[in-house]
């Protein structure tokens, strides 16, 4: 067995990037409000390493509200083509403004403009309203770089548990659980 969950994740992620048809970096992000109301949605992994797993979002969104109220989250990668999944549970850290700026600068221009135009998770009266806001933002930044909106940033899930699940015939799956123990990790198996 491997003793480094991050190396194992890197290996599996590389295989997923080679075999998944769409978005191998897609992950389900589960959060909960202060009163325990759960919510889950798909986001994209934008960085990972021994310090954690990074995604970016509108910091005025429902997910950001929940992360402020309850700074814990769970992630799930499901790579159907490989018949594998990775579950991650941990605490939340904010990404620095410099890191968020650097990542935002790599986004497609329309994605940058969309970050300004969208009041993510808030009610929208019509698609036309959003499209008009997008066109307004497009005109506002015409001929200039699009800066990162002040309400847009990133989060890092700092893992405490990482489970690697492999499908096996007859539901005799393999489940390997890594648990953080201080600066180290312990590994064990779980019944399927």
Give the model's pLDDT for residue 121. Answer: 87
In a domain, 19, yes or no: yes
- Cα separation, 14 vs 77, whole angstroms: 13
- Cα separation, 146 vs 65, whole angstroms: 25
In a domain, 143, yes or no: no
In a domain, 77, yes or no: yes
In a domain, 92, yes or no: yes
Asked whether 167 and 83 are in contact (CB, 8 A), the reply is yes
Give the model's pLDDT for residue 142. Answer: 97
In a domain, 119, yes or no: no
Per-residue pLDDT tens over the stretch 142-174 = 999 999 999 999 999 999 999 999 999 999 999
In a domain, 98, yes or no: yes
User: Residues 113, 156, 60, CA angle at the centre, nearest 5°?
Assistant: 45
Per-residue pLDDT tens over the stretch 86-103 = 999 999 999 999 999 999
Give the model's pLDDT for residue 15. Answer: 97
Give the model's pLDDT for residue 2. Answer: 58
Domain housing 50? 5-105+150-190
Is the pLDDT at 1 greater than 70? The verdict is no
- Catalytically active residues are 171
In a domain, 88, yes or no: yes
Share of the chain above pLDDT 70, in %: 99
Two tokens, residue 164 = 């690697």
User: How many domains would you assign to the chain?
Assistant: 1
In a domain, 131, yes or no: no
CATH of the domain at 86: 2.30.110.10
- Cα separation, 91 vs 40, whole angstroms: 16
Quick one: pLDDT band at residue 183, thresholds 50, 70, 90? confident
How large is the average pLDDT for residues 104-110? 97
């Amino acid at each position: 067995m491997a003793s480094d969950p991050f190396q194992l994740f890197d290996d599996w992620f590389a295989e997923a990037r080679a075999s998944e048809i769409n978005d191998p970096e897609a992950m389900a992000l589960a959060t909960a409000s202060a009163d325990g109301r759960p919510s889950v949605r798909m986001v994209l992994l934008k960085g990972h390493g021994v310090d954690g797993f990074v995604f970016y979002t509108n910091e005025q969104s429902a997910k950001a509200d929940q992360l402020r109220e309850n700074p814990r989250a769970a992630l799930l990668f499901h790579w159907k083509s490989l018949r594998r999944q990775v579950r991650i549970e941990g605490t939340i850290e904010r990404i620095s403004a410099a890191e968020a700026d650097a990542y935002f600068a790599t986004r497609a221009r329309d994605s940058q403009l969309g970050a300004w135009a969208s009041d993510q998770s808030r009610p929208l009266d019509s698609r036309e309203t959003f499209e008009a806001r997008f066109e307004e933002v497009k005109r506002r930044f015409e001929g200039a770089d699009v800066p990162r909106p002040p309400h847009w940033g990133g989060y890092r899930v700092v893992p405490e548990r990482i489970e690697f699940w492999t499908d096996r015939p007859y539901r005799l799956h393999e489940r390997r659980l890594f648990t953080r123990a201080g600066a180290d990790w312990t590994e064990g198996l779980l019944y399927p």
